[in-house]
Chains A and B, each alone.
Chain A
Amino acid sequence: MAKKTPEINSSSTADIAFLLLCYFLMTTTMGSHTGLSRRLPPMPDPNQKAQDQKVNRRNIIIVKINSQDRLMAGTEAIDVSQLKERTKIFLTNPTDDPNLPDKEIKNIEGLGNRPVSKGVISLQNDRGTSYQAYIAVQNELVKAVNELRDEAAMREFGRKFAALDEDRQGIIKELVPQLISEAEPKDVGKRRR
C-alpha cells in the first residue's frame, strides 16, 4: 500500500451523462408534428334559413376530385401537376379576364390601397377519394397561395414571406388571403369505401 495507483478523475462522467440526458430530453420532445392547418366552416344553424351567399360565378373555382382520384378544376379535367399554375392564374388574374375573379381595392394598413382578389377555391371530394390524393390537392392549393404570398412579400418588402416579422406576415396574408372552402360533402358517383 505504499504506492497508490493514480485514479482517473471520474467527476466529469457525470457531466457527460448530463449532456446525453439533455440530448435525449430534447430529441424526444422535438419529434413534432407537421401537417396542413385548416379551419372548418361552422355548422349552419338549422333554425336559420340558409342564406344565399351570393358569390359571383366568376369568383369561384370548383376543384372536384372523384372516386378515381381524377381532378377537375372549373370545367376541365386537369392533372395535379397543373393545378398550382391554374390556381395561381385564377387568383392573380393577370390579364383582367372577365371570366376570372374580380379584384377589390382594399385599404391595407401599412401599405395603402391594393387590389385583392375575391377568388375562392371550393374543394369538393367524393367519399371514395383516397386521402393521399386529397392531401396532394390540398398541398398544391396551399403551395399556390404560398408562392403568391412570397411574390407579394418580395414586391412589397423585398423579402420572402417566411423572413418577414409577424406584423408584415399579417399584412401579406390580408393581401393574399387563403380562401379554400371545403364544401359540404356531396355524394357524387358511386359509393366506395
Chain B
Amino acid sequence: MFRKDGKKSMPGITSGSLSDIVFMLLFFFMVTTQMRDNEQKVVVRVPSASESVKLERKDLSSYINIGTPTRNLQAQYGTEPRIQLNDSFKTVDDIRDFIAAERESKSEQDRAFMTVCIKADRDVRMGIITDVKQELRRCSALKIMYSASKAE
C-alpha cells in the first residue's frame, strides 16, 4: 500500500514558504538598521547650509553630538548644552580618549582620512564648539565636518 502510493507522485518542495523566510529577513534588517544607531541623548537640529556636501567615507567618520539633553533627561542633566560621545554624556577632556579609541578602530592606512563629524544643534553657542575644536587640534584630528542639512 505505502510503496504504491509513494511511487505514484514525488512530493514537490513547496516554495510558498520561501517568501515568508525572506519577509523574516526583511523585518530583521529593518529592525536592526534602526537599532544600530546610537541612542540620541541630546537634541540636535542641525543647521542648514546650501553648500553642504556628502560625507565621502561614512565608515571613517566618528561623531560628536552637541546639544541640550533630551526632555526626559533634563531633570538629571539640566538644560545646558552637553557633549555626547557614543552613548553617554562626556566633557571636553574625554574627547582625547574618544579620538584615540576611534583611531584604534580604523585600519592603519585609513587613519589619516578619519573625519570627525561635529553634529551640533543650531542654537548651541560657539564657546563649546571652540573648546571641542581646540581639543581636536590638540589630538591632531584635523579633518572635521560641520554637519548641516542640505537646503536650497
Interface residues of A (CB under 8 A from B): 10-11, 13-14, 16-18, 20-21, 24-25, 28-29, 32-43, 125-132, 134-136, 138-139, 142-143, 146, 182, 185, 191-193
Contact = CB atoms under 8 A, between A and B. Distances in A.
29 contacts: A10-B15, A10-B16, A11-B18, A14-B18, A14-B22, A21-B26, A21-B29, A28-B33, A32-B54, A33-B61, A34-B52, A34-B54, A34-B147, A34-B149, A35-B117, A35-B145, A35-B146, A36-B52, A40-B137, A40-B142, A129-B126, A131-B125, A135-B47, A135-B122, A136-B49, A138-B49, A139-B49, A139-B52, A146-B51
A77 B25 CA distance: 59
Contact of A40 (B117, B133, B149, B150): B133
Given A28-B33, A32-B54, A40-B144, A128 B126 contact: yes
A42 B125 contact: no
Contact of B148 (A14, A41, A125, A139): A139
Nearest to B56: A37
A130 B126 contact: yes
A20 B23 CA distance: 9
Interface in B96-152: 115, 117, 120-130, 133-134, 136-138, 140, 142-150
B19 interface: yes
List the 8 shortest-distance A-B pairs measured between CB atoms, nearest first. A127-B127, A13-B19, A17-B22, A139-B49, A132-B122, A28-B33, A129-B126, A33-B55
A123 B149 CA distance: 22
A74 B108 CA distance: 43
B130 A39 contact: no
B58 interface: yes
A131 B54 contact: no
Contacts of A17: 19, 22-23, 26
B52 A10 contact: no
B35 to A, nearest CB: 11
